[in-house]
Amino acid sequence: MLEKARKIQEKFNAFITLADSISFSGKGKLAGVPIAVKDNICTKGMLTTAGSKILANYVPPFDATSVEFAKAAGAGIIGKTAMDEFGFGTFSTNCAYGIPKNPYDPERSCGGSSGGSACAVAAADFPIASIAESTGGSITCPAAFTGTVGITPTYGLVSRWGLIDYANSLDKIGPIAKTVYDAALLLSVISGHDEKDSTSLNSAKTDYTSYVGKECKSMKVGIPKEYFSDQVDQRIKGAVMQAVDKLESEGVSCEETSLPSTELAIPTYYIISMSEASTNLAKFSGLRYGLQQEFDGNVQDYFTEVRTAGFGDEAKRRIILGTFMRMAGYRNRYYLKALKVRQKIINEFNSAFEKYDALIAPSMPILPPKFSEIEKLEPAQVYGIDVLTVAPNLAGMPTISIPFGTVSDLPVGVQLLSGQLHEDKLIELGSLLEVLR
């Protein structure tokens, strides 16, 4: 498997670090299964950079809880996957260690920020899954772009202990795999209460694979019209509506609904996430860990030099913008107002899930773009591409992205959304779509 992983690395650059050897211990649910881990999730004794030069030499002395759970279930860590620096990106083009390439077309993006995780799963011809992470769509996006299955769980279902934070109130660890069953299996293993994480939900371990293939005929699914705007490629809309037709042919009731605050999701998300990111990244100053330089006695100059050398352009942009939005005189105008809008978005979703078991929408508004196309985009245009994923992440609710056919030989993802702790409904519907596609 390692030799095959090296060939994947040579061709697609899916990894930042590959293991020298894979150690499998135990005889649990993942016995003998290699697991790729996003590089912002700590792995004991293995380089963990979060895609940034400022952590170029950081080797954690501990495993993140999700990694610990996977190892206890018999999995072995095959490597750490390429990602946008600290999760700051939509296309994994902001990685300090090379850009992962899409197995469908190496001239195109795998999506981000968990692009390397999805790339490794999509390119492998052996059983593999990945522990990935999402803040505003970083599991759904790469899953859609690579034809894999990605589950973004309810906030707090999987412990964040050992995650190098982007935005504490938004970050979620979840699986990317080849099939719904495989993703449900990995989620079953890595989820569960963790006393080390104050945001961890006190919920019992669940076998999510038991929901694969269950009857869905009594379910009611909403189609939010705002998720089918002019921003969405018509061919993608067509593929999603085909999925709707397939569900209806199996007795699932589907009807149009509305989430009017969707248009507010992008500015709300970026105000909150950048504000939290600027705080989280303050600790990377060249003192305790990561990049260090020779100290000349001036603390302020030292911090500036280390952070200038260690952070990439997008990280610097988000630090500056986030700091601005938290400043006295601007905090009420931006950050606190964004928190109020976030609650409005949550309320809309909660109202929708009083009526519907799930919602269905495109995973992404565009097909995987070429790198030459991405280079022409302004930052605000890149942020806008997250329009279909940031709202559910703001609400802390679970989603699943299912590959559903291709357009011009490129994969299309269908996104299912449900209320908090209703991963069961997503897996039931997702496994049905997997059979019908």
Which pLDDT value is given to residue 317? 97
pLDDT(264) > 90: yes
Catalytic site positions: 38, 113, 138
Q: Determine how many CB atoms are found less than 10 A away from the CB of residue 420.
A: 19
**What mean pLDDT do residues 283-309 have?**
88
**Which residue range forms the structural domain that includes residue 47?**
2-217
Q: Is residue 292 part of a domain?
A: no
For residue 43, what is the domain's CATH number?
3.90.1300.10
Q: What is the pLDDT of residues 146-166, one digit of tens each?
A: 999 999 999 999 999 999 999
* Rounded percentage of the chain residues whose pLDDT exceeds 70: 100
Q: Is residue 210 part of a domain?
A: yes
Q: Give pTM, 2 decimals.
A: 0.97
Mean pLDDT of the chain: 96
Q: Is residue 157 part of a domain?
A: yes
Q: Is residue 280 part of a domain?
A: no
Distance CA 274, CA 281 (A): 10
How many domains, in total, are found in the chain?
1
Q: How confident is the model at residue 78 (pLDDT cuts 50, 70, 90)?
A: very high
**What mean pLDDT do residues 210-216 have?**
96
Q: Is residue 282 part of a domain?
A: no
Q: From 322, 327, 319, 410, select the one nearest 370 (Cα to Cα).
A: 410
Q: Is residue 49 part of a domain?
A: yes
Q: Is residue 243 part of a domain?
A: no
Q: Is residue 230 part of a domain?
A: no
